Amino acid sequence: MRPFAYERATTAEDAVARHAAGDGGGNGRGGTAYLAGGTNLVDLMRLGVAQPARLVDVRRLPLDRIELDTDGGLVIGAAVTNSDLAADRTVREGHPVLAEAVVAGASGQIRNLATVGGNLLQRTRCPYFQDAAKPCNKRNPGSGCPAREGEHHNLAVIGHSAACVATHPSDMAVALAALGASVRIRNAEGERTVSLDDFYRLPGGEPECDTVLEPGELITAVEVPPLGMPSRYRKVRERASFAFALVSVAAALDVDRGAGGGGAAGGEAGGGTIRDVRLALGGVAHRPWRARRAEDVLRGAPATRESFLRAAEAEMEAAEPLRDNGYKVPLARNLIVRTLTELGEGS
Amino acid sequence: MDSANFSGEAVPVHADITLRVNGRERALGVDTRASLLDVLREDLGLTGSKKGCDHGQCGACTVLLDGRRANSCLALAVAHDGADVVTVEGLAAEGELSPVQEAFIENDAFQCGYCTPGQLCSATAVLDEAARGWPSTVTADVSSDPVLDDAEISERMSGNLCRCGAYPGIVAAVRQAALRHRETAERTDA
Amino acid sequence: MTVLDRVEGREKVTGTARYAFEYPVDGVAYAAAVQADVARGEVTAVDVLSARELPGVLAVLSCVDAPRLEPVPDGELALFQSARVSYRGQFVAAVAAETLETAREAARLVRVEYAPESADVVLRADHPGLYKPEKVNPAFPTDTEQGDPEGAFAASAVRVDATYRTPAEHNNPMEPHTTVARWNDDGSLTLWDSNQGATPVGETIAKVFGLGADQVHVVSPHVGGGFGSKGTPRPNAVLAAMLARAARRPVKFAVPRQQMFATTGYRTPTIQRIRLGADEDGRLNAIVHDVVEQTSTVREFAEQAATPTRVMYQAPNRRTSHRLVRLDVPTPSWMRAPGETPGMFALETAMDELAVAAGVDPVELRIRNEPDREPESGLPFSSRNLVACLREGADRFGWAGRDPAPGVRRTGRLLTGTGVAASTYPAYLRPSRATARAEPDGTYTVRLAAADIGTGARTALTLIAAEALKADAADVRVEIGASDLPGAPVAGGSGGTASWGTAVVRACEALAGRLNGGAVPPGGVEASADTTEEVKGREDYARHAFGAQFAEVAVDVDTGEVRVARMLGVFAAGRIVNAKTARSQFVGGMTMGLGMALMEESSMDERFGDFVNRDLAQYHVPVCADVRDVQADWIEESDPHLNPMGTKGIGEIGIVGAAAAIANAVHHATGVRVRELPITPARLLPRL
């Protein structure tokens, strides 16, 4: 890998100031990059995909706490490790979908290194992005996207562009998307907060930008609103563990079982009316995919398999599968129905 | 100390660090690019930790880093200045094999042995993680404390690839070591 | 039954067992290699200036300026000898430097220019370049034919005619291919090397550098797996030695995982058409097995995928054939049970299809087609217990009363099913040498250049020697893994323990004869053996191990995920020397077969000409959680026609048939017949 200078920041302000003192730019050739757990950045540097000239280490910043709001929401420090997040009792009890998503990702030893901030910023595992000897618009803008006509069986089916068909690899971010989380960001001017929906971008004509982060901006925390309903994370992969998702679903479902029997006529899934629902998909798009169309179909609908199927189909109508990943459309549909059914049954 | 020399090419950047490795303080000068794995193997001669992929995809490099298992290939040594590291060489206290090491031999939990140091460090940490009640993806209810059954063991050991396919032996060995671990803990409690 | 813990177990669990990269060699430098970025063409220029200028760089070599090597049959070892690029990923340059980081960075700075040509990298059954090789690996006839297979097939009451595809697969041993090379003052070369046979590696590398065989010292006591890919020397050994000479320093090189996918071998993809013609009771009248595979333009490797079909079932009319095409791809090579593994996936899936078509239980179908002699050669079997394995396995697996109807066992969102397949692998014996020495302290030392790549060979040879010497195993020390020891064949073809063990037994017998019950003199007593004549003089028998594999799968109807709930293999492989390590061999093979069935596939991008999923996150091998209940057992055979131990070899048969058993179980579970591996959600879900 390319030689780089290494500095360790002491506070978030210090980190941002150190970054600003460098050459700017991201973790492409030259420039400064933030280093946290390193589980993806070091990997990409060794591949020659990331070539920063300078690393500012933010792993030991005092951003390693998980705080509970008075209303039941969470503020998760960016330097909290995946392991600590998944092991946290408050998270496991109040936001189980988040803990489930985190332990569905990577391996025990990677989760010990990886941090919340780094997890959000990990890059796609598209094989062409990871091979510095091949074209890739995300790595080398304007060079082309060989994945579109190449090996893409595990790439995007929805929201992709002519320039890029990458998927976002994070499990955690899918749960956070479903939970309506926001990202707290530090920059030279101060702090700003961006909802996860706005944080991640679709590729469009600028696939090199995964997020709306400006150069030098640092994630300091993730804010998660209270949940208050059953939730679940389901992940499908090509082996039983330690693999990226083909498709994953993060879901939360609040069913009013006493509300006039709504769809109880169907008698399925315990009946009741859906008061609230959160749904996000992983493995299908350039970003964690919040399934708002499905949510809209479901709110106020009877909690039946038919509703779940209708919602899933409404969401996947926008899918434009590539030559070899059409299977992800029924897979996502089935997984949505399955997960919501299980939540509806309280199983 | 800036390395960047963009007209020509960059030169290595050195850093002085200290590590506590298997209980011993080690002061080292390292290239900022060096992984903890390469520092252990090439600078300290602790070749027990293995390099199978160099990208965190196989687990052969797993060590205990500040008490937790970690892929030492993904850890830049310079970033872990001051860390406490236990490698496979540090698992046997004064030559006496740890229960995990003994169980690996008894259950033939390896063949070629190349993944074994990583498996052993991982297994050692799994016992600790389970004792602390950490959930896994096969824990039916993440809000409850898991019971370390075979499904839990095999899930938790899945970050350590074994191409020889010694997995049944590995699960049996961890199960056996967990039992001894609990018995020891109970004796200590008593 | 003998149960001995692995004799090097303590070294392996304490991290003291040294693998190739780990030998402390004074002044050692680090190597990194540059791979071709085109699949076919000529290197027109190599700019090494910025690499050479990097502080710490000691030497740079490339295909435009490297020293000449002696030609050897394996063209993959003609490193940097030509500007011709034969496949993408071929090594075209290399760097030695003071540190690994510097070497890798310098390699990145080497600029190579090419005159690319259009490349042909995709195997097709109708490829115009298909040809008939002279023989298939290692020396089997390419084609065989008896009777009137086409006519008999056409006239059969029950017919199966199907084409099966297996993808390129990579061995992926956990230890990368590694060499530390040092040129000694006397002109000899020492290689600490990761391989499956120090003797053949030493002989080959000696030829490459124009040295005498005794001028190359190969040291490899511990090897982190090979599965065939370390059976021959790879470019890494040549690269390290060339750089060491150029840098005037010892040099070490471990092939990075990503580079292994092009430079250390893989299993060829196969396209296999099988036709089975049977009467209404399922008795075979015709078997036709036609195989299409690839090789490279560098050297021919012809995988013998149809050879198991010559061994398995009776049928008066039969044909096997192999056709190859030379593509602009890396050279395929040995991967665990080359030939049998893909071939038996096809044959044993076809047998399952025949069982369904004929309405005969698949275990019974195989028993009904059991031959009394090897079908094509007419030779008697030295022993054959396939039927016993099928019966014992069926009994223990709970096969009796199985409802053959596919797709009807549903629990919640899971469909379950069971499948069976047979296994076979030849019992090879090759010449070997060994010495046995009685020490004055009452212990024994046995020496030979055998390899223990995880097989348990060191442990098995200890037991074999102890038995021959009537000594306690604790008093026997076996020294292996170095070319300076008595010459021994490669750990390959499941013939290691048989070949080495025969030499060990003969050496121990000679030693016992020399001792003749007397005391050991102060200097010790040594005897040696060479089994060349013994191996030549064997009677004609068909010698094969057999087995039966059973699998139960659960298929998720929503996701297409297949999980193997349990697997049982029952094998008949002669005498089992050490139950403990033997079980691991069988289970390990079955586990690799599980990977083949469900996840292993190297994906070729035809525009670039390389395998795109070239790391362990993208090339999936089974993890611990994939292996739930995999059990292996065996039927003890007493076969006097094998070797003095009565062993057949156990390293490869475990993978043979495993994928078919799983695929057949998937059919039983779902009614979907998947004829192309692996069975991923992408392939299965659209058909559920």
In b/e form, how buried is each residue of A66-77, taking b as 16+ CB within 10 angstroms?
beeeeeebbbbb
Average pLDDT of chain A is 94
Q: Within this chain, do residues C203 and C81 fall inside the same structural domain, yes or no?
A: yes
Task: Report if residue B22 sits inside a domain.
Answer: yes
**Could you say which residues from 309 to 328 on chain A have a Cβ atom under 8 Å away from some Cβ of chain C?**
324-327
Both tokens of B16, joined, read 């002085």
Of B90, B112, B140, which residue sits at a domain end? B90
Residue from A10, A111, A112 whose CB has the most chain B CBs within 10 Å, to mutate:
A112
Q: Within this chain, do residues C164 and C286 fall inside the same structural domain, yes or no?
A: yes
What residues of chain B lie within 8 A of the CB of C592, using their CB?
Answer: 163, 165
Query: How many beta-carbon pairs below 8 A join chains A and B?
Result: 137
**At residue C150, does pLDDT exceed 60?**
yes
Residue from C13, C14, C108, C594 whose CB has the most chain B CBs within 10 Å, to mutate:
C13
CA C433 – CA C660 distance, rounded (Å): 38
Angle in degrees, CA A18, A20, A26, rounded to 5: 100
Q: Which residue of A has its CA nearest to C622?
A: A239
Q: Within this chain, do residues B103 and B86 fall inside the same structural domain, yes or no?
A: no
> Which among C410, C369, C405 has a CA at the least distance from the CA of C390?
C369
**Could you say which residues from 45 to 64 on chain C have a Cβ atom under 8 Å away from some Cβ of chain B?**
50, 53-56
Residue from A126, A239, A284 whose CB has the most chain C CBs within 10 Å, to mutate:
A239
Predicted confidence at residue B190, as pLDDT, reads 65
Task: Compute the nearest-CA separation of C6 from chain B (Å).
Answer: 7
Question: Is the C-alpha dihedral spanning A45, A47, A50, A54 positive or negative?
Answer: positive
**Could you say which residues from 37 to 96 on chain B have a Cβ atom under 8 Å away from some Cβ of chain A?**
54-56, 59, 62, 65, 68-71, 74-76, 78-79
Q: Within this chain, do residues C345 and C213 fall inside the same structural domain, yes or no?
A: no
Name the residue among B33, B60, B170 with its Cβ closest to that of C174: B60
A34 touching chain C per CB within 8 A: no
**Per residue in C592-651, pLDDT tens?**
999 999 999 999 999 999 999 999 999 999 999 999 999 999 999 999 999 999 999 999
Q: Within this chain, do residues B183 and B136 fall inside the same structural domain, yes or no?
A: yes
**Per residue in C433-491, pLDDT tens?**
999 999 999 999 999 999 999 999 999 999 999 999 999 999 999 999 999 999 999 99
Domain count, chain C: 3
How much is the average pLDDT of B155-174?
98
CA A295 – CA A314 distance, rounded (Å): 10
Task: Report if residue B133 sits inside a domain.
Answer: yes
Task: Report if residue B181 sits inside a domain.
Answer: yes
State which amino acid sits at residue C138. Answer: P
Asked whether the beta carbons of residue A87 and residue B132 sit closer than 8 angstroms, the reply is: yes
How much is the average pLDDT of B145-163?
97
Question: Is the C-alpha dihedral spanning C451, C456, C460, C462 positive or negative?
Answer: positive
**At residue C495, does pLDDT exceed 90?**
yes
CB-count exposure of residue B158 (10 Å: 0-12, 13-18, 19+): buried
Beta-bridge partner residues of C530: C433
Cα distances (angstroms) measured from residue C78 to each of B76, C34, C190, C198 = 37, 15, 19, 20
CB C176 within 8 A of CB C260: yes
Asked whether the beta carbons of residue A42 and residue B35 sit closer than 8 angstroms, the reply is: yes
pTM of the prediction? Answer: 0.97
What residues of chain A lie within 8 A of the CB of C615, using their CB?
Answer: 130
CB A57 within 8 A of CB A35: yes
CA C220 – CA C633 distance, rounded (Å): 31
Query: How many beta-carbon pairs below 8 A join chains A and C?
Result: 86
Q: Within this chain, do residues C582 and C594 fall inside the same structural domain, yes or no?
A: yes
CB C284 within 8 A of CB C315: yes
State which amino acid sits at residue B49. Answer: S
Q: Within this chain, do residues C327 and C476 fall inside the same structural domain, yes or no?
A: no
Q: Which residue of C has its CA nearest to A107?
A: C623
pLDDT class for C2, splitting at 50, 70, 90? Answer: confident
Task: Report if residue B126 sits inside a domain.
Answer: yes
Angle in degrees, CA A116, A121, A123, rounded to 5: 130
> Which among C346, C562, C298, C579 has a CA at the least distance from the CA of C460?
C579
Backbone phi, psi, residue A30, to 5°: 75, -170
Q: Which residue of C has its CA nearest to A46?
A: C104
Q: Within this chain, do residues B129 and B180 fall inside the same structural domain, yes or no?
A: yes
**Domain limits for position C61:** 13-118+176-223+230-263
DSSP A164: B
CA B53 – CA C255 distance, rounded (Å): 10
C616 touching chain A per CB within 8 A: no
Looking at CATH, the fold of the domain delimited by A1-61 is given as: 3.30.43
pLDDT class for A263, splitting at 50, 70, 90? Answer: very low
> Which among C419, C654, C679, C422 has a CA at the least distance from the CA of C551?
C419
CA A300 – CA A179 distance, rounded (Å): 19
pLDDT class for B147, splitting at 50, 70, 90? Answer: very high
What residues of chain B lie within 8 A of the CB of C18, using their CB?
Answer: 47
CB C96 within 8 A of CB C105: no
Q: Within this chain, do residues C567 and C469 fall inside the same structural domain, yes or no?
A: no
Asked whether the beta carbons of residue A112 and residue B65 sit closer than 8 angstroms, the reply is: yes
Q: Which residues touch C300 (CB under 8 Å, ≥6 apart)? A: C133, C324, C326
Name the residue among C101, C625, C680 with its Cβ closest to that of A1: C101
Average pLDDT of chain B is 93
CA C425 – CA C543 distance, rounded (Å): 9
Task: Compute the nearest-CA separation of B183 from chain A (Å).
Answer: 25
Q: Which residues touch A272 (CB under 8 Å, ≥6 apart)? A: A255, A256, A257, A258, A259, A262, A263, A264, A302, A303, A344
The CATH number covering residue C182 comes to: 3.90.1170.50
Task: Report if residue B1 sits inside a domain.
Answer: no
The CATH number covering residue C275 comes to: 3.30.365.10
- Return the top range by mean pLDDT from B176-185, C451-460, C508-517: C451-460
The CATH number covering residue B67 comes to: 3.10.20.30
Q: Within this chain, do residues C497 and C551 fall inside the same structural domain, yes or no?
A: no
Chains interfacing with B (3 or more CB pairs < 8 Å) = A, C
**DSSP-derived secondary structure for C371-417:** -SS-TTT-PPEEE--HHHHHHHHHHHHT-TT----TT--EETTEEEE
Task: Compute the nearest-CA separation of A318 from chain B (Å).
Answer: 30
Asked whether the beta carbons of residue C682 and residue A153 sit closer than 8 angstroms, the reply is: yes
Other CB atoms within a 10 A radius of the CB of residue C409 amount to 16
CA A49 – CA A2 distance, rounded (Å): 10
Of B41, B73, B90, which residue sits at a domain end? B90
Q: Within this chain, do residues B109 and B80 fall inside the same structural domain, yes or no?
A: no
In b/e form, how buried is each residue of B121-147, taking b as 16+ CB within 10 angstroms?
bbbbbbbebbeeebbbbbbeebeeebe
The kind and range of the H/E element at C32 are: strand C29-35
What residues of chain A lie within 8 A of the CB of B51, using their CB?
Answer: none
Task: Count the residues in chain A.
Answer: 347
Name the residue among C617, C626, C681 with its Cβ closest to that of A327: C681
Predicted confidence at residue A24, as pLDDT, reads 52
C470 touching chain A per CB within 8 A: no
Q: Within this chain, do residues B84 and B123 fall inside the same structural domain, yes or no?
A: no
Of C472, C501, C536, which residue sits at a domain end? C536
CB A239 within 8 A of CB C684: no
pLDDT class for A22, splitting at 50, 70, 90? Answer: confident
CA C625 – CA C599 distance, rounded (Å): 14
Domain count, chain B: 2
Give the ipTM of the model, two decimals please: 0.97
Asked whether the beta carbons of residue B142 and residue A46 sit closer than 8 angstroms, the reply is: no
DSSP C685: G
**Per residue in C191-217, pLDDT tens?**
999 999 999 999 999 999 999 999 999
**Per residue in A189-242, pLDDT tens?**
999 999 999 999 999 999 999 999 999 999 999 999 999 999 999 999 999 999
Q: For residue C138, is the peptide bond before it cis, meaning its omega torsion is within 30 degrees of 0? A: yes
Reported in sequence order, the residue ranges of chain A that DSSP labels E, i.e. its strands, are 5-8, 32-35, 54-57, 66-68, 74-77, 182-187, 190-195, 218-224, 231-236, 247-256, 273-282, 289-290
Asked whether the beta carbons of residue A3 and residue B1 sit closer than 8 angstroms, the reply is: no
Both tokens of A232, joined, read 């679940």
Q: For residue C678, is the peptide bond before it cis, meaning its omega torsion is within 30 degrees of 0? A: yes
Task: Compute the nearest-CA separation of B53 from chain C (Å).
Answer: 5
Asked whether the beta carbons of residue A4 and residue B32 sit closer than 8 angstroms, the reply is: yes
Asked whether the beta carbons of residue C224 and residue B46 sit closer than 8 angstroms, the reply is: no
How much is the average pLDDT of C125-140?
98
Instruction: Quickly tell me which residue has 């078919």 as its tokens.
Output: C660
CB C228 within 8 A of CB C301: no
**Per residue in C64-100, pLDDT tens?**
999 999 999 999 999 999 999 999 999 999 999 999 9
CA C568 – CA C657 distance, rounded (Å): 12
C622 touching chain B per CB within 8 A: yes
CA C312 – CA C344 distance, rounded (Å): 10
Angle in degrees, CA A41, A47, A53, rounded to 5: 60
Q: Within this chain, do residues B112 and B79 fall inside the same structural domain, yes or no?
A: no
Task: Compute the nearest-CA separation of B190 from chain C (Å).
Answer: 31
**Domain limits for position B151:** 99-189
Q: What Rg, from alpha-carbon coordinates, does chain B have?
A: 18
Task: Report if residue C127 sits inside a domain.
Answer: no
Task: Compute the nearest-CA separation of C321 from chain B (Å).
Answer: 32
Other CB atoms within a 10 A radius of the CB of residue C550 amount to 25
CA A308 – CA A291 distance, rounded (Å): 12
Q: Within this chain, do residues C523 and C644 fall inside the same structural domain, yes or no?
A: no
Residue from B65, B134, B136 whose CB has the most chain A CBs within 10 Å, to mutate:
B134
**At residue A1, does pLDDT exceed 70?**
yes
Both tokens of A247, joined, read 């498709």
Predicted confidence at residue C517, as pLDDT, reads 83
% of chain C beyond a pLDDT of 90: 99
**Per residue in C212-225, pLDDT tens?**
999 999 999 999 99
The CATH number covering residue B112 comes to: 1.10.150.120
What residues of chain A lie within 8 A of the CB of B159, using their CB?
Answer: 106-110, 242
Both tokens of C101, joined, read 């980081």
Q: Within this chain, do residues C364 and C485 fall inside the same structural domain, yes or no?
A: no
Task: Compute the nearest-CA separation of A202 from chain B (Å).
Answer: 27
CB C615 within 8 A of CB C257: yes
pLDDT class for B86, splitting at 50, 70, 90? Answer: very high
Catalytic residue IDs of C: 652
Both tokens of B87, joined, read 């490698």
How much is the average pLDDT of C297-306?
98
Average pLDDT of chain C is 97
> Which among C345, C370, C372 has a CA at the least distance from the CA of C675?
C345
CB A126 within 8 A of CB A147: yes
Asked whether the beta carbons of residue A4 and residue B11 sit closer than 8 angstroms, the reply is: no
> Which among C434, C431, C566, C549 has a CA at the least distance from the CA of C490?
C431
Asked whether the beta carbons of residue C588 and residue B165 sit closer than 8 angstroms, the reply is: yes
Q: Within this chain, do residues B164 and B144 fall inside the same structural domain, yes or no?
A: yes
CA C481 – CA C197 distance, rounded (Å): 7
Q: Within this chain, do residues C258 and C301 fall inside the same structural domain, yes or no?
A: no
pLDDT class for B130, splitting at 50, 70, 90? Answer: very high
**Per residue in A154-164, pLDDT tens?**
999 999 999 99
**Could you say which residues from 14 to 53 on chain B have a Cβ atom under 8 Å away from some Cβ of chain C?**
31, 33-34, 38, 41-42, 45-53
A329 touching chain C per CB within 8 A: no
Of B36, B55, B90, which residue sits at a domain end? B90
Of C536, C557, C584, which residue sits at a domain end? C536
CB-count exposure of residue C566 (10 Å: 0-12, 13-18, 19+): middle
Asked whether the beta carbons of residue A109 and residue B155 sit closer than 8 angstroms, the reply is: no
**Per residue in C218-269, pLDDT tens?**
999 999 999 999 999 999 999 999 999 999 999 999 999 999 999 999 999 9
CB B57 within 8 A of CB C618: no
B166 touching chain C per CB within 8 A: yes
Q: What Rg, from alpha-carbon coordinates, does chain C have?
A: 26
Task: Report if residue B7 sits inside a domain.
Answer: no
Q: Within this chain, do residues B28 and B61 fall inside the same structural domain, yes or no?
A: yes
How much is the average pLDDT of A59-63?
97
